[in-house]
Each structure stands twice: as C-alpha cells, then as structure tokens.
Structure 1
Amino acid sequence: MRTVIVTGGAGFIGSNFVHSALKQTNWRLIVIDKLTYAGSLLNLHDVEHDPRYSFVHADIGDQAAMAEALERWHPDIIVNFAAETHVDRSIDGPHNFLAANVMGTFGLLEATRHYWSKLEPMRRKSFRYLQISTDEVYGSLGDAGFFNEDSRYAPNSPYAASKASADHFVRAYHETFGLPTLISHCSNNYGFYQFPEKLIPLAISNAIAGKPLPIYGDGLNVRDWVFVGDHCDAILTILERGRAGDQYIVGGRSERTNLEVVNGVCAALEELLPADSNVALAANRYESYRDLIKMVPDRPGHDRRYAVDCSRIERDLGWTSRISFEMGLGMTVSWYLLNRRWCQAIQQGHYNGERLGLQSAVPR
C-alpha cells in the first residue's frame, strides 16, 4: 500500500482527487490543508470514515509542520494542489498568491528534499513529487495555435506569475538536487465541489437564485475545459507512468467562449429546472435563464485565449479525456442543484457573489 500526501486536498481539484484515488487504488491518503475560504472539510465528508484517509490541518509553507508530517507518515508520493487560484483575487491581493503559491511551494520542496534524501535507495528512486500547475503560465494565444510542454512561460496575471514561479522552483529542485518531480499543466477545470466564485458554479448559483449572470468584456475569451474527474484520472496516470523530470499538459479538447459556457449552463438548467418553474425567475419577471446574462467591464489583463495540445500524455501515457463538455456540464449543473445546502454552507462568511478584481485596476 502506497502512502500519498495530498496537499490542498480539501479544495476543489484536490478533494475530487481524494475521492477518485480512494475509489481506484488501495493507497493511504493523508490530506494536508490550511482550510482557507475555498478549502473545506465539507468537500471530504463522504470519505471521513474511510480508514485509509487522514487529515492534517497545516500550511505547506510551514517547513517544521511539513517535516513533522513527512516523518510521521513516510509518504511514497506527494501531490501538491495547495494554492490560491482565483485570478480576480490575485488582482486585488497579489501578496497572498506570492505567500501561498511561491513560498508555500518552496517550504514544501525544502521539507520534501530533506525527507527524500534520507530514504533508502529503492524508495528514493520510486518516490514522486507532483506539482499541479496551470496552462495560464503560458500567457495568451491568438486565434490559432496551442500550448504544449515546450511553450515559453509568459504569465500575465499575478496568479499565473505565482504558479510559474512555483513551477521553476520544482524544476530547479529536480535539476539541482535530483528530487524526482513531475509537473502537470491543466486547462480550466469544472465539476463538483468548485467554490462558487468561478465562472460555471457562479453562473449556476446565480441563475437558480434569479440573479444576473455576469460575463466579462465581449464574452469571447476562449478557454479549454476539462471535467475534474478526467483531470484526476490524468493525475493518477502521471503518478503511475510519468517519467521523473517531465511535464504533462492535461486538457479536454473542448474550447468554448465564456458566452458559450454560460449559455450552456442556461440550457442545462432549462432541462433540469425549467425557468417557468423557478420562482426566483418569476419573482423578477424573467422568462428564461438567458435573460439573466449581463455583460460587465472586462477583467484587467484578461488573457484572450487558452488552448492546449495534450498529445504527449495521450501518446506517452495512454490517457485521454472521456467526458464531453456537454455531458460534464449537465452532470455539474445537476450536482449543484442537488447540493444547494453545500453551496450555502461553503460560502457563508466568505463570499456573497460580488465582483472581484477591479478595485486595484488603473486605467491605461
């Protein structure tokens, strides 16, 4: 039985990974999480009685706490999901992203390096550290082309810059110290347990409540979307078959404009909760969910297009996404409809659906 430390395992992608790994492997999973606004034990309530699951409340930037956890649990694998992730929040408060994403990763790497160096040779060789990164480190694309593992880094937001810096530290620890690291760059994730500040869960929550559905700028910014369950399967594949020192891009080959995404949410809701049966819409005299769409001022430095080429992970490791965007979106909308209490509980005291990312913007 392998022991896997999952940092940030109470967050969106991390908690989905914990659920997937417990179902698909016999691994023992140790979740380490600081439990910030977007990380909650509510996301792990389904596994809290599994004897293979344990939780540690700690900050990955606390090297002493990380060293203690490593010595206690003796992991074979570390998967680092821990990060501040919302671009809008990085515009309002870049320091939190520097602290969590850069210094946090550095603290975890230092503790991991010292732990790993003391392992017996066979365990040192099989040990893996996987950094979960993003396609946003590559910047913005025009109408054509795709990011791949050889694309140059050109981050445009404080969030992307912090993730890029963390990636460079991970690569340096492999090249300098020999730490067997891996890096994965995923495109936009969607699915269950995503904090309702992001585009899809915010659109779902607002639409159910009959509130406006804000879309930045002209709504034509493009992202590739991957269902979080597919992404978790990719992570398991990378851990099983990935080569130390390599990077892998993970995507769903599902490019959509933001306007198309929100229209898709409206269409899925119309099937599952028809507008004429939604009292919140009727109270505000709306006839359809699409009537709620509202164009708002664009985000500062908003990247125009992300698109990724997943050929390496498909060719070398045999992974490919299975869930189409339409299928995954329907599953996601259904989940949020069935888990409205979770939405209310996780937002309480943290977020009221307000617009973020404009307070620090300076006109050019």
Structure 2
Amino acid sequence: MHVPLRAAKVIGLLALGALAVAFPSLAPDPFILSVGVVIMSYAVLATSWNFVGGFTGYISLGHAAYSGLGGYATGLLIVRAGLDPWVALVLGGSLVALIAVPIGIASLRVRGASFVIVSVALVLITLLVFQTWGDLTGGSDGLRVPRPFGPDVMRPEQHERFFHLHTALLVVALLCWWVIDRSRFGSGLKAIREDEDKAQSLGVPTFAYKLVAFVVSAFFTALAGGLYALWFGFLDPIFQFSILAGSYLVLMSLLGGIRSLFGPLLGAVVVGYAMEYFKAQYGDTQLHLVAMGVLLAVVVLFMPDGIIPALTSLVNRVRPQAASIREVTQGELAERRRGAEQPAGPNQEVR
C-alpha cells in the first residue's frame, strides 16, 4: 500500500475516533445528543446486518426480529428474572444467537427472493407472538425497562453514557468484521457471495459458513437491540418488530457500501440523520418514507456499489500507480537489457 495513503487512513481513523469521543460535549442540546445515540444505534445495527449481507450477499429484511428479540430478552430478564442489566444484555444476546441457529438452518436453505420472503415472515411471526403474549411481554401495552444508571442520573448524562456504550459496541463489531474479512473464513464467505455453487464445488463448506455468519450477525444485532432498550426504557412490539426497520438497515448498508468496513457506518450517519431531520421538521407525516424511497432509487441507479466503493474507484483511477502504462527510468531499462542479454549458465535451461 502506498505510504501516504496508509497515513491518510490512519489519520482518518484517529479523527473519526476523536469525533466520536468528543461528540457528547460538542452537542448543543440534549435533543441533538439523543439523535446521536439513535444514529450510533443504527450504525451498530447496519454493521451487524453486514455480516450477512456484505459477506454472503443474502439480503435480509427481517433483522428487526433479532434486534426486537434482543431488546425483549434484555428487558424480560431484568423485569421478570431480576438480573443485573448488563448481565441481562449479554445473556439476552447469547439467547438470541442460540435461537438464530435453528432459524438459520431452516432459512439458509433457500436463496434470493425466497430468503427475503422468509426473513419478512420471521418479523411478522415475532410481531404476532409478542403482541398476543401479553402476560409475559406486556402485549400492545408495551414493556417498561428500568434504566441501569438509576433515577439520580439526569437525562443528558444518560444520553452521553449510552452514546459511548453504543460507540464501544460499534468498535467491537467493526473489529470482528475486519478480522473475518482478512481470514480464510472471510474468503470463503466472499466466494459464496460471488458464486455459491462454484464455491461449494471448490470445497468451501458453504452452509456451515453461512450459518456461522448468520449467528454472529444475529448476536450483534441482539446486543444493539438490548442496548437500545436500556437507553429508551420502553419496548413496543409494533416498533421493535418493524419491516421498515430492516429495510432501513439494507438502505444504510447499500448507501455506504456493503463490501467495505465503514460503509454501513457512513450509510447510518446519512440515513439516520435524514430520518431524524424529516421527523423533527414534519412531525408524524410519512414524508420521511418518501425521502428514503427517493434515496434508495438514487443509490440503485447511480451508486449501486455504495459511496465508499465509488470514491475508492475514483481515487484509484487518478493515482499514478493505477495507470496502465508506468514510466520506466533509463537505469531500469538498461538493467532489464543486461538481464536479457546475459547468457544462460551450464545448469540453466535455455528456453
């Protein structure tokens, strides 16, 4: 890798980390800080979704089921079982990961549109179950989740702490994605994404690889849902198990670039801010849905690979070493001629 480019990437990462740490103190009011928490939650969810969508190419519109299950698992373990909130968060994410194993075994046997339909059906089933099982989940009345920091902590400080917690979870998810991307396991997943049948014929255990990626994705999605439940303090099945929420994750990842590490994060910032802006400006109208539809159309038409891959391709075209013809110095040319004119030795084969 070119040294200036590597230095630029390091500087960019440091600047991004410094901005994330400083954002709570830079936010002008608690509302903007709460918007930051929402966007960071979207970033974790989109990155979690990208373990499946980015690596295997399977488009799931049903990931809201795992975030909703993670939120309710965390809340119920606190309210019904009396567990510590942080223990409930980790245990709830682990339980959802276990539940994702049989779901993955059943759903990953189909591909394409069939997989999308199965993922949507999962959201509808979980919504129906949590709405009707009122004795346990609170039903349509919702479930109140006690906040972990107690009533003495004021609302702005709650926002600040949960912003940092979401940021920490995002860092862990990004690190896990980065490690997988550079591993043999990640190479197998990307082979599945490009051509699953060919990957299987070359010896890649495609079903096992897909299942592991699916469970890891569900685990991080459930942790994000549980952390959001601890911050918001209330769970409503209609909101938690929403097909629109899963669609937003797909849009965020596609906008930033599903094949890049920071693509879902960039998409979450753009889409999350746009949604919060339209909701604040236009209230309960559905104008934000129209805006999201227009944005999705623009992405599909003009940037099908996402913003980051498009910018990377542009940079590669303008870099000198990316040119098809490279200038050769006179010294290099003379060295090549001497090597070509050197006679073959007694032990060398003359071709």
Q: TM-score range with shorter-chain normalisation? A: under 0.3
**Whose RCO is larger (CA < 8 A, sep 6+)?**
2
Q: TM-score, normalised by structure 2?
A: 0.25
Q: TM-score, normalised by structure 1?
A: 0.24
Name whichever structure is richer in strand by fraction.
Answer: 1
Larger Rg: 2
Name whichever structure is richer in helix by fraction.
Answer: 2
